[in-house]
Amino acid sequence: MRFLRFSLVLTLVLWLGIGFAQQSLSIATGGTGGVYYPYGGGLAEIISKYIDGYTAVAEVTGASVENVGLISRGDSDIALALADTVYQAYSGTGRFDGSGTLRQLPNLRALGSIYPNAVQLVTLADSGISSLSDLKGKRVSVGAPGSGTELSAQALLEANGISYDDFSVQRLNFNETANALRDGQIDAGFWSVGPPTSSILDLATTRNIVIISLSDEEVSKGLSASPVFASYTMPAGTYPGQDEPVQTIGTPNVLVVSEEMDEELAYNIVKNLFENVGELRAIHPAANNTTVEFSLGATPIPLHPGALRYYQETGNEIPARLLGQ
């Protein structure tokens, strides 16, 4: 009888332990030199702190294109990705039209958009580069292979009549691009990231950098290249030595999940994201743009039902494109 009582107690303890086990969520971000990684780390802290039964961890990845694939395959639970990548993957257009290795990913859903990226073309003060056309014949990093930065850079360049054949192409991540500029191995590099970003800030401490401002015509042509591009002016003083505003284009960043995510979990992630956004803003100023208004105005694909429930419960008008109907 004593053994039976012990067995029952042990079974109950094990059952309770399993019932209260923490489920770990993987957040696909980007390289450590961008905004995705610290922002994703902040989101992981919010989930772990405020959502019972869950912990989360930010994972270093190759950013947008890799991230949507990770979500579609179920290898990550949440991902940050640029809106142009998300839109193309969901709709099966652009690089995801099936003509190459990338295919349509119709199971993607959005939790919302969190802040805009700015396309930042960085060079050194003595490079002689002052416009997109000056990149011809130069050594230029267009971002990590298949990243959202490369998608944005290529779209902007091609819209302005510049192809990869016009310059020496390097595909480097943010930190690698900054190091290559510092060491004179390249002449210019693209970032598509929320400013200010640490890799450009670090470069600016040792070199006199210039961030190229696009002309009105270059911006106009860029806007015609993608349905998710928007004009963006980066304020003066964003980086050391940047005394004038920089005119460029921007792309929203989207929190992406699978349509198979539990509805209650998706609801709680969005709810706690906006109710505790001050904690994210303390980590990175890009989160200053993390608002419900920005999210509903900038998100390019339908919302997950759990996210939709939060936006509706808080009294917001939902754009038709986000309803998935």
Short-list 152, 162, 157, 159, CA closest to 221: 159
Tell me: do 284 and 302 sit in the same domain: yes
Q: Is 289 among the domain residues?
A: yes
239 with 131, same domain: the answer is yes
Handedness of CA 306, 310, 313, 316 (dihedral sign): negative
Q: For residue 8, is it within any domain?
A: no
Last residue of a domain, one of 227, 251, 275: 251
At residue 141, the pLDDT reads: 98
Mean pLDDT of 158-177: 97
Residue 34 lies in a domain: yes
Give the confidence band of 283 by pLDDT, cuts at 50, 70, 90: very high
Domain-located, residue 62 = yes
Stretch among 153-167, 216-230, 250-264 having the lowest mean pLDDT: 216-230
Report field, pTM of the whole predicted structure over 0.85: no
How many domains are contained in the chain? 2
Instruction: Answer yes or no: is 4 within a domain.
Output: no
Same domain? 175 vs 293 = no
Range of the domain at 231: 118-251
- In terms of Cα–Cα distance, which of 30, 35, 48, 106 is closest to 289? 35
Shared domain check, 228 and 305: no
Chosen domain end from 251, 282, 297: 251
Q: Please indicate, yes or no, if residue 15 is contained in any of the structural domains.
A: no
CB-neighbour burial class of residue 283 (10 A; exposed 0-12, middle 13-18, buried 19+): middle
pLDDT of residue 17 exceeding 80, the answer is no
Question: 269 lies in a domain?
Answer: yes
Least confident of 13-27, 162-176, 195-209, 212-226: 13-27
What is the model's pLDDT at position 69? 97
Shared domain for 156 and 61, answered yes or no, is no
Is residue 108 located within the same domain as residue 148? no
Mean pLDDT of 71-76: 98
Residues 130, 44 share a domain: no
77 and 125 belong to one structural domain? no
48 and 63 share one domain: yes
pLDDT score, position 142: 98
Q: Within a domain: residue 205?
A: yes
Q: Per-residue pLDDT for 20 more than 60?
A: no
246 and 269 together in one domain: no
Per-residue confidence (pLDDT) for residue 125, from 0 to 100: 96
The tens digit of pLDDT for each residue in 75-106 reads 999 999 989 899 999 999 988 999 999 999 99
Least confident residue range of 30-34, 87-91, 289-293, 300-304: 30-34
Per-residue pLDDT, 16: 47
Regarding whether 233 and 168 lie in a shared domain, the answer is yes
Domain final residue, candidates 219, 251, 283: 251
Confidence of residue 22 (pLDDT cuts 50, 70, 90): confident
Q: Are residues 130 and 204 in the same domain?
A: yes
Residue-wise pLDDT for 113-163, tens only, equals 999 889 999 999 999 999 999 999 999 999 999 788 998 999 999 999 999
List the CATH number of the domain containing 124. 3.40.190.10
